[in-house]
Structure 1
Amino acid sequence: MNPPSPPPAKRGRKRGHNPNIPAHIDQAKLPDGVYFDHRGRGNWYMLYQDGDRQRRKNIATARATLAELHRLAEDLTQVDRHKLRWLAQAFHDSAQFKALSKKSRDGYEYTRKALLEQPTRIGTFGELTTRKLTSAVIQRLIDRIADEGTPSKANAVLRYLRRLFRWGKNRGYCDDNPAQGVEPAKERQQRRLPETVVMSRLIARAQERGDDYPKRGQAGSCPTYLWIVMEIAYLCRLRGIEVVTLTDAHVTEQGLRTNRRKGSRDNIVGWTPRLRAAVTAAQQRRADIWERRARALPLLPERRPLIVSRSGDALRKSGFDSAWQRFIRLALSDETISAEERFGLHDLKRKGITDTKGTRGEKQAASGHRSEQMMDVYDLSLPVVKSSEE
């Protein structure tokens, strides 16, 4: 049985008569999304949705027949329908997805974004076709995410893929469920706590080899924002995504206001010379990039991200993750750190909480955790107690 066709794209306003279209074409029967460009010798092109962007693709010369245009448009549309991005969108638009609880929907939305933006050799994971996704491909993806130090994220992606393909298979959108049988990542109880000297060495290496302009891409270089993100993550006890999404609105007179995820409480981390230097460096770097790009300064502080990419846009988490992995591989190759000293960005939050002075309750308040049990995960300091004789 042929798989059911997805709902047709919504048609915009009715086409007006175009005198430039060849006379042998009945304009009323043109397929949706197909248009004629009369410049030069003339050619037919198609507008189609690729994720969040609309793209153009030339598909035929002016001599093409109406039947050929329909066939070409259908072929291009079918290719798009076979992509993982399309399947995920169809699932999220379905009645089954909308019937889930808000918490489940929010979790799936977050995981979908993390999955589709995973980098591949040809772009992102969302651009892959579902027929080419085998269990081996998905296993490599799960292993790679786990190797980045986020095994829980890897397992969340795996659970999402299993649910997504089961939904698609039951409705004829895909032939099988390649995520079934894939081994989940082992969520290790071992929690890495980088030594202060190792952390300082890695931050210094990123600061020394930071290179945005004008020699981008030189061997051994890395984006300048890496050392800034590492400093803020440690000093403010933040996750990587929480640092990347900071804006000028979080910079206050008292200190840097956090934007914690997963239900943690926000707080204001008071200014220290080291924290002030990192934030100032981020703002100066952004100003230099925007000046070179002739970009206007947004008036609203929440529209001014602290951490921007080399192009001046707000840095995406997927872009940062890729840069971090490249940087760690370089640090290993030039022996800045050893394989045993390797740690993930999230471990800097654990390091920051462990190094915080004060009682366990004061550390909990500084970290923003609502649950005292979470301190067993993040506070790895050893309490100093009196002997039994005292």
Structure 2
Amino acid sequence: MRSIEMAKKKRKLPKDVFLYRGQLVYWPYLGCFNGKGKRGKRVILGPSDLPEGKIYQLLDQVKETRRKTVEWLLSAYMESEKFKKLSKSTRHNRKEVYYPKIIERRGPNNGTRFGDLLLNNITPAMLLRLLKTFEGNPTRNQIKTFISAAWSWGILEHEDIPRQNPAKEVPNFEEESRTFYITDELYRKVRRTMKPFYRAAMEIAYQCRAREIEIFALTYNDLLKEGIYLKRAKGSISEITLWNRRLRTAVAMVKSICTNKHSEYLFHEPDGSPIEPQRFACRFKDCMRRRVAAGKITPEERFTFHDMKAKGVSDHEGQYSGHRTETGRKIYIRKAPKIKGSK
């Protein structure tokens, strides 16, 4: 450091540019952290005999590159055509759930927002430390996938994005498949305590083996003569679930509650707007917590609304879930199959 400062005195150079070992180096000062001055990553501008105008030109290019932060990358990616082609649920989760968490997360050492960090300074080890601050391996993997997708997009769209995608160097966190199965007795016990709106949503999710986002995307045009046409999300195969008594009763219950004549959605808010799946899932969790607190169910009996799809698939004669792969389907089978013994 001392030799660099002494070398600078031999030639008048811009701030944070030094003559070092025969080359001009840009070494920015980042500030004082924990009582110690800290500098960023060194960038070689070129040989020591560069003209002054060329130095400033290269310096402007480097600074422009260095202004590209994590927040800039994720924001630019979410405005891209590639992002718009993702499923509605994926777009919602990344934009409304994970994006705020990523950019506002503070570093454990200096308290800097992760969103303010420059892309050139992000390393796999730094990203791994960030991911470990989040709770739950599924959430960690979702955030890692989001950052990786944005970075890969940035490499193709921008020349000054670091070519190495740090997220690809971080291994996935091991996830344990959920095995909880809602028994018929538990389903009836919980459903009896719920308001009609929740009872109808639970029954349709069970009968159609559907996710929240698929239930609340249903419109009156999806109520066909032979059954309910379910547009499955995440690339799964859409289907028609044939009418039965329970399904007709649930739909009639929804119609008696959601009565805005100007809404195209079966489930809708009083003003006719669609139900937000993420918000409904949170409200359902609150309902379950209240029932545990009231002693109506035990903590072990509490389940998520998404578990309704698993019950529907597990109880279905063909265990049909709409998944294109056997691996995806097995995630929702929570009940052991009944097999005849050997002769």
What is the rounded CA distance, in whole Å, between the counterparts of 1:186 and 1:277 in structure 2?
41
- The offset of 1:378, in angstroms, is 2.6
What is the rounded CA distance, in whole Å, between the counterparts of 1:344 and 1:110 in structure 2?
17
Judge conservation of contact 1:256–1:269 (CA < 8 Å) in 2: yes
What is the rounded CA distance, in whole Å, between the counterparts of 1:163 and 1:253 in structure 2?
42
Secondary structure in structure 2 of the residue aligned to 1:275? helix
Secondary structure in structure 2 of the residue aligned to 1:268? strand
What is the rounded CA distance, in whole Å, between the counterparts of 1:310 and 1:154 in structure 2?
36
Query: Which runs of structure 2 are paired with 1:75-90 in the superposition (5 Å)?
Result: 88-90=74-76
Provide closer, same or farther for how the CA distance between residues 129 and 379 of structure 1 changes in structure 2, counting only shifts above 3 A. closer
Quote the RMSD (CA, aligned, Å): 4.2
Corresponding position of 1:238 = 210
Code of the aligned partner of 1:247? T
Judge conservation of contact 1:118–1:318 (CA < 8 Å) in 2: no
- The offset of 1:195, in angstroms, is 1.5
Corresponding position of 1:378 = 332
Q: TM-score, normalised by structure 2?
A: 0.59
- Of 325, 330, 347 in structure 1, the residue corresponding to residue 307 of structure 2 is 347
Corresponding position of 2:21 = none
Code of the aligned partner of 1:115? R
Provide closer, same or farther for how the CA distance between residues 230 and 139 of structure 1 changes in structure 2, counting only shifts above 3 A. farther
Corresponding position of 1:336 = 296
Corresponding position of 2:193 = 205
Tell me the alpha carbon deviations over residues 157-185 of structure 1, each in whole angstroms, 9 at most, x when there is no partner: 333146658969x9999xxx9x9999976
What is the rounded CA distance, in whole Å, between the counterparts of 1:187 and 1:307 in structure 2?
33
Judge conservation of contact 2:98–2:143 (CA < 8 Å) in 1: no
What is the rounded CA distance, in whole Å, between the counterparts of 2:171 and 2:297 in structure 1?
30
- Of 251, 254, 257 in structure 1, the residue corresponding to residue 226 of structure 2 is 254
Corresponding position of 1:187 = 175
- The offset of 1:248, in angstroms, is 0.7
Judge conservation of contact 1:117–1:125 (CA < 8 Å) in 2: no
Corresponding position of 1:156 = 142
For the pair 1:274 / 2:227, whether they are aligned, the reply is: no
What is the rounded CA distance, in whole Å, between the counterparts of 2:243 and 2:88 in structure 1?
35
- The offset of 1:243, in angstroms, is 0.6
Secondary structure in structure 1 of the residue aligned to 2:93? helix
How many residue pairs match? The answer is 255
Over the matched positions of the two proteins, sequence identity in percent amounts to 24
Q: TM-score, normalised by structure 1?
A: 0.53
Q: Could you tell me which runs of 5 or more consecutive residues in structure 1 were left unpaired when the two chains were aligned.
A: 3-80, 208-223, 291-296
For the pair 1:91 / 2:77, whether they are aligned, the reply is: yes
What is the rounded CA distance, in whole Å, between the counterparts of 2:240 and 2:90 in structure 1?
29
Judge conservation of contact 1:234–1:349 (CA < 8 Å) in 2: yes
Provide closer, same or farther for how the CA distance between residues 341 and 171 of structure 1 changes in structure 2, counting only shifts above 3 A. farther
Corresponding position of 2:121 = none
Judge conservation of contact 2:314–2:335 (CA < 8 Å) in 1: yes
Tell me the alpha carbon deviations over residues 42-97 of structure 1, each in whole angstroms, 9 at most, x when there is no partner: xxxxxxxxxxxxxxxxxxxxxxxxxxxxxxxxxxxxxxx9995x75332344xxx6
Tell me the alpha carbon deviations over residues 92-112 of structure 1, each in whole angstroms, 9 at most, x when there is no partner: 44xxx66xxx5x874498545
